[in-house]
Amino acid sequence: MPIELKQVSFTYAPGTVFETIALQEVSFSVEDGEYIGFMGKTGCGKSTLLQLMVGLMQPTRGQILVDGRDINGRGYNRGELRKKVGMVFQYPEIQLFETTVEKDVAFGLKHSGLSSSEIADNVRWAIETVGLDFEKTRSVSPFSLSGGEKRRVAIAGILAAKPKILILDEPIAGLDPMGRDAFLDLTRKLNADGTTIIMVSHNADALAENAHRVIVLEAGRLALDRNVKDAFKDVALIEKLGVGVSQARVIANLLSKCGFHAEPDIIRYAELQPLLLSTAKGGRL
C-alpha cells in the first residue's frame, strides 16, 4: 500500500500558550495510480497534512506509512522518501534561485545518485512535460520568465525527480484559465502514466473533472472520503463542510428542481451537456 495514514494527529507549539490542534486522528490510505482531490475550508489542516505526508514535519501522534514503512521510524531514509514523493507547494515559483532554467530544474537531482546523462534526460523531459520549449528556455534566467512560466519551471523542478507520488497544494491558484486547463491536463497525463496524484484545491470543477476520489477535512478531522461521484452527489453535506460542488452539479440540481429529469450523478460538464442540449431541443427552455 503506497501511502497509509494511521490515526495521525498534529499539534503546533504543544505545551505553550500558542498550542493549536491542527489535525485529530486522521486515517486514510492512497492506492497506486489514484487521483485524489483534497478539499476543506482555509485553516482546516490540509497544508499541515500534506507536509506530514512528505516528512517535512512529524505527527504528534499516529503513523504515516509509505510503501509499508513508517517514514518517521528509526533508520528510515528520508532521501528515498523525497525521491518517491514529490511535493508542489502553493506558489512554488518562490523556490527558483539558479541562473538558468536548466540548472534550476536540475537542482533537486543533485543528491539523487543519477548519472549526469540521466539527469540531463530527466531535466529535458520535465521541462518539455510542463509545456515549455527546452531549447528556447534552457539557458534563460528563470527570473526573466512570466509568472505562469515561472510556475511551470518550478513544477518541472519537482517532476524532474520522476516522483511516483505527486502532492500538489493549490497548484492552480492565481493561474489564468488557459494556464489552469493546461496544468490540469498535465496532471491527468501524469496520472495516466502511473503517477499517483494528490491535489488540494478549492476549485470543485477541477476536482470533479479530474479526481477519482475526494477527501474533505473539517477542523482537523476527516469529514468525508468517497469516490468523486458519491462525494459531489451529496450537495447538502458538501456545502455543510464549507466547500462547493462543481458548476455542472449545481446546474443539474437546478434543472431537477425545475421539474426536469436530471440524474443525481451528473458532476462534469461533459455529462451535463447532453442533458442541456436535449432539454433545449425539447423546446422547454
Instruction: Give least dist CB 197 to another protein, A.
Output: 16
Tell me the longest C-alpha to C-alpha distance in the chain: 69
What is the Cα–Cα distance from 193 to 280, expressed in whole angstroms?
39
Instruction: Give least dist CB 234 to another protein, A.
Output: 34
Instruction: Give least dist CB 39 to another protein, A.
Output: 22
Q: What residues line the site for another protein (CB under 8 A)?
A: 12-14, 16-18, 51, 54, 56, 78-79, 82-83, 86-87, 89, 92, 94-97, 107-112, 143, 157-158, 161
**Cβ distance to another protein smaller for residue 119 or 262:** 119
Instruction: Report CA 15 to chain centroid distance, whole Å.
Output: 32
**Cβ distance to another protein smaller for residue 16 or 270:** 16
What is the Cα–Cα distance from 198 to 211, expressed in whole angstroms?
9
| Residues 78, 27 contacting (CB under 8 angstroms) | no
Instruction: Give least dist CB 161 to another protein, A.
Output: 6
**Cβ distance to another protein smaller for residue 95 or 246:** 95
Instruction: Give least dist CB 264 to another protein, A.
Output: 39
| Residues 5, 28 contacting (CB under 8 angstroms) | yes
**Cβ distance to another protein smaller for residue 13 or 178:** 13
CA distances from 49 to 11, 55, 60, 133, 215 (A): 11, 10, 12, 35, 12
Q: Are strands 61-66 and 165-169 parallel, antiparallel or unpaired?
A: unpaired
**Cβ distance to another protein smaller for residue 49 or 255:** 49
